[in-house]
Chains A and B, each alone.
Chain A
Amino acid sequence: MKTDPVLERLREASWRRKLTPAEEAQLQSLLAAHADARADWAAEAALNGALNRLPAAPVPSNFTARVLDAVERETRTPAKTRHFGWSWLNRPLRWLPRTAFVVLVVGVGSIAYHHDVIEKRKARAQSLLTVSELPAMASPEILEDFDAIQAMGQAPAADQELLSLLQ
């Protein structure tokens, strides 16, 4: 019975609105011929009634005034921006402080790095200059008895008691 096109049309109409007297009469004649569809239609009608009886949400008395206030608030600021024709600048200018900060940090870092490199190079050149100015070293033969001469300086201290007896 559900596939009956007339009944389906009436069902879809009943979902949206109350059936007209003519539609209602048509429905009753169809249901008289198809008793098996009556229970289903009773449930449809009851559900329509249930949905129609749901209470409306209470609208605050100042709702329209609130909407107008909100519209006024929302449209006020952008209107000024449009008036002066600066809107095309808004987007880039919003990023300008961040971009400037990044450029500054990178620039200072780069200068500091290069300064450090130059300072190290200067120090290295100075060391080379100092070494180059030293007089030429003595011949290696002079150092032949170096160990023996150094050991002489490490001789045991004089026996002071013996010296005093001899005196």
Chain B
Amino acid sequence: MSADLDPDAALMLRVKQGDTVAFTGLVDKYKQPVLNLAFRMLHDLTEAEDLAQNVFVQVYKSAHRYEVSSKFSTWLFTITRNLSLNEIRRRTRHPAASLDATHPESEDQPLYQVEDRKTRSPPESLLQGELEQKIEEALADLPENQRLAILLCRQEELSYEDIARVLGCSLSATKSLIHRGRETLKIRIKRYLSAGAWSGPESTQL
């Protein structure tokens, strides 16, 4: 793939030369999908922001290793995947206190109280919030590679071959991961799916 075909690769060539403007362009273009992926892998917005920041720092520091023959988004999501899995493994070795943990002095109070940033009218918020929570929970319970495969699948710029490269497995294994993950999700939220709860307008980003 030449730099003429992939505008991101052309920007990366400029980043290699130390062009900060080109780097800023890439950050602005990909910060949302990278943060979305990090957030759905880690389930912590602050940690996801830090991880997304590290992803772009790694991109800048490793710019000299980037080969124009590979697609930039594939390379970027591979870095995101690796850092996310490292963070998940680090958490496994050093588990932190759960946000669901109860207060030691009052069992009906949570240990931590986090501000809800979503603002919706009460009835809509109640239904939509519950549905989102169910799908988020079901996604979170999937094995990491199935979750990653499903999340990457929603990135329009990535083909199945690209997703396979990011995951480091074959094309058939990638499709199998997506299929198995989706089957699990369908079972977990069957009640909501059959009720047509998601019949409203779709958002454009996962």
Give A residues with C-beta under 8 Å from B.
Answer: 12, 15-17, 43-44, 46-47, 49-60, 63-64, 66-68, 70-71, 74-75
Contact = CB atoms under 8 A, between A and B. Distances in A.
A12 B160 CA distance: 9
Contacts of A70: 53-54, 56-57
Top 4 nearest A-B pairs (CB, nearest first) are A57-B39, A49-B198, A46-B193, A52-B202
Interface residues on B, range: 35 or more
A12 B143 CA distance: 20
Interface of B: 20, 23-24, 27-28, 31-32, 35-36, 38-40, 45, 48-49, 52-54, 56-57, 60-61, 117-118, 131-132, 135-136, 150, 153-154, 156, 160, 175, 178, 182, 185-186, 189-190, 192-194, 196-200, 202-206
A59 B132 contact: no
A75 B200 CA distance: 47
* Chain A CB within 10 A, most for which of B53, B178, B192, B200: B53
B153 A15 contact: yes
Q: Give the secondary structure class of A's interface.
A: helix
Contact of B45 (A49, A54, A57, A74): A57
Contacts of A75: 60-61
Given A43-B193, A53-B200, A74-B61, A15 B31 contact: no
A69 to B, nearest CB: 9
Contacts of A60: 49
17 contacts: A12-B175, A43-B190, A46-B196, A50-B185, A50-B189, A51-B206, A52-B204, A53-B198, A54-B132, A54-B136, A55-B132, A56-B203, A57-B39, A63-B53, A67-B57, A70-B53, A71-B56
A59 B31 contact: yes
A52 B156 contact: no
Given A16-B153, A70-B57, A75-B61, A55 B31 contact: no
A50 B135 contact: yes
Contacts of A17: 156
B196 to A, nearest CB: 7
B186 A67 contact: no
Nearest to A58: B117
